[in-house]
Structure 1
Amino acid sequence: MSVRGIRGAVTVERNEEQLILDTTVELLNAIVVENGIVPDDICSVLITVTGDLDSTFPAKAIRVMPGWEFVPLMCALEVPVKGSLEKCIRFMLHVNTTKSQSEIRHVYLRGAQVLRPDLTKA
């Protein structure tokens, strides 16, 4: 068993609380399905948002999901690099797994696909 990082990112259309919460759940569910993981596999989740998403904490959506109550979550502000992707939520899940690094499936949805086109499904 090893600890592996699983990356994910998604963009939202507007800085609205419910949209941010729903999009956070969508990204998390996609990562879980793609990698066949359950909450007990998760060591921690780091969530970053761009500075233009300040209506809510994305972790708020995960904390109320059944089975995720004890998963350590932390939100942070993404480094504000000029010209970088806007309205973006990024995840770094630290997961206990027997999978090799090459077996991990990173998930990039919507506009965030530009961040890692090499890892985005066709």
Structure 2
Amino acid sequence: MEIPRDTLQEQTFYEQVGGEPTFRRLAHRFYQGVAEDALLRPMYPEEDLGPAEERLALFLMQYWGGPRTYSENRGHPRLRMRHAPFTVDRAAHDAWLRHMRDAVDELELAPEHEAELWRYLTYAAASMINSPG
């Protein structure tokens, strides 16, 4: 017999915010912005942004307590190493956060979930900076 989950404390953040569909919506909206961004678009050499969108969705799902598909397919995230070939300066940081802010806002999460997600995203964006400017 399955025991019902009565409290949010028993759920992961991933579950609390709606699971896979939420993170797929976030990644999709984010890459809609990137596709039109003259600064960020060149950092994605693939013709189609679909593979990058999929990687971001899988990474975020895993980070927040969902399936471990990202690591099963790609190994350890090693985010700084994966971004090292690209110049990530303050302007790229700001552009990335601008598109991510739009994507987060469209999710219409509960305020405490939105704040927790945004804290992580701003931290992650700052940790990717690898060039002055």
Instruction: Pick the TM interval, shorter chain.
Output: 0.3 to 0.5
Structure number with the higher helix fraction is 2
Structure number with the higher strand fraction is 1
TM-score, structure 2 length as denominator?
A: 0.33
TM-score, structure 1 length as denominator?
A: 0.35
Give the number of the structure whose alpha-carbon radius of gyration is greater. Answer: 2
